[in-house]
Structure 1
Amino acid sequence: MLLSRIQCLFLLIVVLVGCNQPDQSTASLSPKEDADFSTAMDLLNAQPDSAFYYFNEVATQSTDSLEIASALNYMAIIQHNAGDYFGSIETLLAALGYLYEETEDKRPYYQAVYNLLGSNNLTLGNYVDAILYYQQTIELTTDPNFKNIARNNLAVAYQKQSDYAKAIELLTAIQKDTASNPVNRARVQSNLARTRWLQNNAYNPLPDFWAALRIRSREKDQWGLNASYSHLADYYSATRPDSALFYASRMYAIAKKLNSADDQLQALQKLIPLAAPDQAKSYAATFMRLSDSLQTARNTARNQYALIRYEAAKSKAENLELLNANAEKELLLFRQQLIGGVLVLGLLGLMVFGINRQRKKKEQLKWQYEQSLRENQLKTSQKVHDVVANGLYRIMTTIEYKEELDKNELLDNIEELYEKSRDISYEGQESHPVSDYQQSINELLKGFASETTKVVIVGNESGCWETMHPTAKNNLHQVLQELMVNMRKHSQASLVVVKFERGPDGLHIIYTDNGIGMPASPHFGNGLKNTENRIFQLNGRISFGQHQPTGLTIEIHLPLTPAYDK
């Protein structure tokens, strides 16, 4: 009966990558008429959080494997749209576990799962995995339109991987199939021109860029216009900064109209190095505020979806416990009739012991979940402060005090800050090896020098950093950045001296300035608390001392021990 109802594809959200802009296409059909499934479908666009709850009800209560796979796929789509790409991948892999084998009736389900797995991995920069999943999507697809969409996605993955020849081959092959669809024709034409330009910067992509822009304007394709403005801004950035600024501004306006935070951040990345210093500072402040807000929203959504699944699992466990309790009661009555009171008391004792044990186990699981949530929120707060706030403050200081700006260097710094802020909620992203750590420290400290503040560095020799673990280097870099940010904000110092000494017992760092010093009863904010925590994690010591009659001295000692492996 189920097979007779699957006559067409259920909802497929397809990421059509023209620049990095998702273009969502849908088709219909849930696997069967289920009340929770229907409720979830009604809420999918207007209230995705509520839809996720009802889809999860189907996934945990249904006995139909295809219905469970369909519900899990929708949940993964909601997670993808909320920016929880790792969570979406986890949910999609769970959906594959209910499909068992690639039979004809399951073909549309596999198409949806593999395509979204490709899109998640493409967004995360896992291009090898994205290519494999898109290839599987193409193998399973018989519909020519959907096959061309998947081939376009595969071409973009090759482009991102810098395999321009394969990307050009794919886009050229599908170009002839887009004549009847202007939006698709403009997407392929623009992607093909951009790929050829990336392969050979002497190639002129403008005729194709203009043609795609005219089609998108005529068709009122807002996502396509967003991609065209991005392509034109990138093309003109090196040769005609005024034109690049114009198109980056148009992209920013379209991104705000589409309410796409990711595209607004990308547009701001282009605007900051192109705009005048005062406007660049305003764009930088907007970038920081929007990036922080987006990251907070995505972390909230990720935790909310995890909580929904946790509560559902807990409810299922409680139902099983209730069934067990009822069965035990029936067994108790039967035993009571056969054996008598003594055995009844024994069974009652065992039941009470089991219930208490289950209750304690539930309380422990709840406590572990809440503790993990608090730790994740604390870690995210520390990362946002270290990476986004201090990094952006350093960029704004460069814009404010440098007479001549190296726009390429500034753009690289903003690109790095954007990538770190995008990935900040995922584990394993904090440590970034630096090829010349001595030069990196010099650039960090000198970056806070200005017309009113002189920064002197003593003893920063390459020998100081030999054998130091990359994790220790990364933490020390954040500590020094926090000290210099606090100096710039609060000290009013005209002279800052940072001295490095390496001895047999470890590395000794002495920071001094001639500023106003610290109050008698200082109150440490999150930044200085994070600084102390980083030093303590490395088995080090940090002390703050008043410099007479004014100024501040901070001493840091880091031992040369395996503590750096932490």
Structure 2
Amino acid sequence: MPIDNPAYDKAFEYLENGHADSSFYYFNAAKQFFLEQGDSLFVAKCLINMSITQHEKADYFGAQETALQAIPFLNENKTEHHAFLSMNYNALGMATDDIKDYPRAISFYEQAIKYSNDPQNTLVYRNNLAFSLLNNKKLEEAQQIYTDIIQGTHKSPAEYARVLANLARIKWQQDPTYPAIHEYLISLKIRKQEKDFWGQNASLAFITDYYEKQNPDSALIFAKRRYAIAKTIKSPNDQILALKKLIKLSPSDSSKYYFEIYNSLNDSLQQARIAAKNQFTMIRYEVEKNKAENLILQKDNADKAYNISRQRMWTAGISIFSVVVIIGGTFWYKRRQERLQLEAQNRIKANQLNISRKIHDVVSNGLYRVMTEIENRENIDRDGIIDRLEMMYEKSRDISYETEVTKPEQQDYHIQIAELLKSFVTENRKVIIAGNDAEQWARIHVDIKEQITCILQELMVNMRKHSQATNVIIRFDWDVDVLRIYYSDNGVGMSESQVDGNGLRSIGNRIERLNGSITFINQEEKGVNIEVLMSIL
């Protein structure tokens, strides 16, 4: 029996009424409730629906991240989980397809087919797989799939029309003289009969491409029809694609008119995508913030109750037996001495840990970075290396004297970050940096920058030592008062011992001191995804 969860029912009500933001909010709230109750299947259902909503609003990276979070909650050994595994992998495939990462999208679609137990869904997943293969220029593989599945579409005219058009498109791409227009027109006719407007949009796009070179006048006619259909289905993406064709095919006067529409629509679309992404992020942030505030309130109430109970106990004890007071006082004094001794020991340990951390950051990781540059660069900046070693020497002396002087920045921070990350580039490894904005960094206090530098350096050193990655991506996303750092690589993943190692534990401690959070998404042999969130005010 599923657990009664009003937020889950509300989420579907809003979904059916077309209120994506409210639906996303309640799915997120329902997910938290199911998580507390230990119902992993319904946690996964919430995440899958959230991912689909993000994809529909063109937040493709967000959709990917949410769908990946659902995987650990689904058990491939449980038959009742298979339908949701296939649904989730299909959602991952679509989001990955839209960012044009076709090889990975193909892998996700294959997983969706593997776990699918519904013939109709399998047909859809195979069609998606074939479309990804087609975009990846694997025409023969795509053609084989379309040829196989077209036989099973006789019960669904809309599916038959879709497969027929895609199969004709492949044949035309393989042989530009192939008369694909006949199948295109048949497919368009069926889709009109079925009132399949999205399908008509696809058919008109194929026909426009077919006529573009050999008969531009006909191509212009079908491009106009596609633009009209795209407006009917309220698809800004398809309107933009249709407008591009109209600009290209129309006379100069009309082309200028379409270009103005294109510019306005494109600006609106970009703003809508940014707003949707920020909206979903803020919904999650507010939910987590409220959760944290509730936990703090519960703790305060528990502390107050405990203090009241203790006070009553002491009062009763004093009122009844003075001997108990003496014994209690003696016991308290002993405990106090032990506590003071323990606090002194803890301060010593904390000081030792602080010095150890500084040595690790300044000396170990600094030397490791210098070694990496020397190893991977043919032309070594000898003076730059000497300056850097001298700087490490000075910082080491500061550590030995227990100084905490924060030195002024010698170089623009965005340049420091770029140089730090690019020092790990090799012939076999790319490091891609996004969002490294000088104006944004200018808002950050120098102490926070130092911590961010240490966090990034630790991540990159850990990557080089253990991951065997060939591609590393670091992305900085900026809000008014929050910075999110996304790290991902395509290496071999991390074992449990590496996740619990000193380096990553040090990262966690730093982020905790900055009132931030860190999330690991570790997939064996498929790389690592890490999200760091911290306040920057």
TM-score by length of 1: 0.54
Q: Does 1:37 align with 2:12?
A: no
Q: What is the CA–CA distance in structure 1 between the aligned matches of 2:93 and 2:84, rounded to whole Å? A: 14
| TM-superposition CA deviations, 1:105-159 (whole Å, max 9, x none) | 1111101110000000111101011100100111111221111111100000000
The aligned counterpart of 1:272 is 247
Equivalences for 1:382-393 in 2 at 5 Å?
none
The aligned counterpart of 2:290 is 315
Q: Does 1:335 align with 2:310?
A: yes
The amino acid that maps onto 1:54 is Y
The one of 37, 53, 61 equivalent to 2:25 is 53
Equivalences for 1:56-455 in 2 at 5 Å?
56-62=28-34, 63=37, 64-338=39-313
Relative contact order, CA 8 A, sep 6+: which one is greater? Answer: 1
Q: What is the CA–CA distance in structure 2 between the aligned matches of 1:142 and 1:108, rounded to whole Å? A: 6
Q: What is the CA–CA distance in structure 1 between the aligned matches of 2:123 and 2:72, rounded to whole Å? A: 27
Q: What is the CA–CA distance in structure 2 between the aligned matches of 1:92 and 1:111, rounded to whole Å? A: 11
- Which deviates more, 188-197 or 59-68? 59-68
Gaps of 5+ in 1: 3-31, 347-427, 429-469, 476-566
Given that 1:265 and 1:287 are in contact with CA atoms closer than 8 Å, whether structure 2 keeps it comes out as yes
Q: What is the CA–CA distance in structure 1 between the aligned matches of 2:74 and 2:134, rounded to whole Å? A: 32
The amino acid that maps onto 2:7 is D
The aligned counterpart of 1:6 is none
Q: Report the alpha carbon displacement of residue 95 of structure 1 after superposing the two structures with TM.
A: 1.2
Given that 1:60 and 1:312 are in contact with CA atoms closer than 8 Å, whether structure 2 keeps it comes out as no
Gaps of 5+ in 2: 319-328, 337-417, 419-431, 438-537
Q: Report the alpha carbon displacement of residue 298 of structure 1 after superposing the two structures with TM.
A: 1.2
Q: What is the CA–CA distance in structure 2 between the aligned matches of 1:73 and 1:218, rounded to whole Å? A: 33
SS at match of 1:162: coil
Q: What is the CA–CA distance in structure 2 between the aligned matches of 1:320 and 1:333, rounded to whole Å? A: 20
| TM-superposition CA deviations, 1:149-204 (whole Å, max 9, x none) | 11100000000001000000000000111112111111000000001111221222
Q: Report the alpha carbon displacement of residue 94 of structure 1 after superposing the two structures with TM.
A: 1.1
Q: Report the alpha carbon displacement of residue 100 of structure 1 after superposing the two structures with TM.
A: 4.2
Q: Would the alpha carbon gap of residues 250 and 68 (structure 1) be closer, same or farther in structure 2, given more than 3 Å must change?
A: same
The aligned counterpart of 1:370 is none
The alignment of Structure 1 onto Structure 2 pairs a total of residues equal to 319
Given that 2:86 and 2:114 are in contact with CA atoms closer than 8 Å, whether structure 1 keeps it comes out as no
Q: What is the CA–CA distance in structure 1 between the aligned matches of 2:4 and 2:258, rounded to whole Å? A: 50
Q: What is the CA–CA distance in structure 1 between the aligned matches of 2:204 and 2:215, rounded to whole Å? A: 14
The amino acid that maps onto 1:332 is N
Given that 2:82 and 2:117 are in contact with CA atoms closer than 8 Å, whether structure 1 keeps it comes out as no
Given that 1:190 and 1:212 are in contact with CA atoms closer than 8 Å, whether structure 2 keeps it comes out as yes
| TM-superposition CA deviations, 1:181-240 (whole Å, max 9, x none) | 111111000000001111221222111111111111222211111111110100110111
The aligned counterpart of 1:394 is none
Q: Report the alpha carbon displacement of residue 338 of structure 1 after superposing the two structures with TM.
A: 4.8
The amino acid that maps onto 2:119 is P
Q: What is the CA–CA distance in structure 2 between the aligned matches of 1:142 and 1:98, rounded to whole Å? A: 19
More helix by share: 2
Q: What is the CA–CA distance in structure 2 between the aligned matches of 1:336 and 1:267, rounded to whole Å? A: 76
Given that 1:197 and 1:205 are in contact with CA atoms closer than 8 Å, whether structure 2 keeps it comes out as yes
| TM-superposition CA deviations, 1:432-471 (whole Å, max 9, x none) | xxxxxxxxxxxxxxxxxxxxxxxxxxxxxxxxxxxxxx99
| TM-superposition CA deviations, 1:518-554 (whole Å, max 9, x none) | xxxxxxxxxxxxxxxxxxxxxxxxxxxxxxxxxxxxx
The aligned counterpart of 2:358 is none
The aligned counterpart of 1:383 is none
Q: What is the CA–CA distance in structure 1 between the aligned matches of 2:45 and 2:65, rounded to whole Å? A: 15
Q: Give the % identical residues.
A: 39
| TM-superposition CA deviations, 1:285-307 (whole Å, max 9, x none) | 11111011011011111111111
Computed over aligned residues only, the root mean square deviation of the Cα atoms, in angstroms, reads 2.2
Given that 2:11 and 2:26 are in contact with CA atoms closer than 8 Å, whether structure 1 keeps it comes out as yes
Q: Report the alpha carbon displacement of residue 34 of structure 1 after superposing the two structures with TM.
A: 2.3
Given that 1:102 and 1:110 are in contact with CA atoms closer than 8 Å, whether structure 2 keeps it comes out as no
The aligned counterpart of 1:517 is none
| TM-superposition CA deviations, 1:467-489 (whole Å, max 9, x none) | xxx99xxx9xxxxxxxxxxxxxx
The aligned counterpart of 1:544 is none
Q: What is the CA–CA distance in structure 1 between the aligned matches of 2:123 and 2:33, rounded to whole Å? A: 37
Given that 1:59 and 1:67 are in contact with CA atoms closer than 8 Å, whether structure 2 keeps it comes out as yes
Given that 1:57 and 1:312 are in contact with CA atoms closer than 8 Å, whether structure 2 keeps it comes out as yes
Moved over 4 A (4+): 338-343
The amino acid that maps onto 2:27 is F
Q: Report the alpha carbon displacement of residue 84 of structure 1 after superposing the two structures with TM.
A: 0.4
The aligned counterpart of 2:456 is none
Given that 2:58 and 2:273 are in contact with CA atoms closer than 8 Å, whether structure 1 keeps it comes out as yes
The amino acid that maps onto 2:269 is L
TM-score by length of 2: 0.57
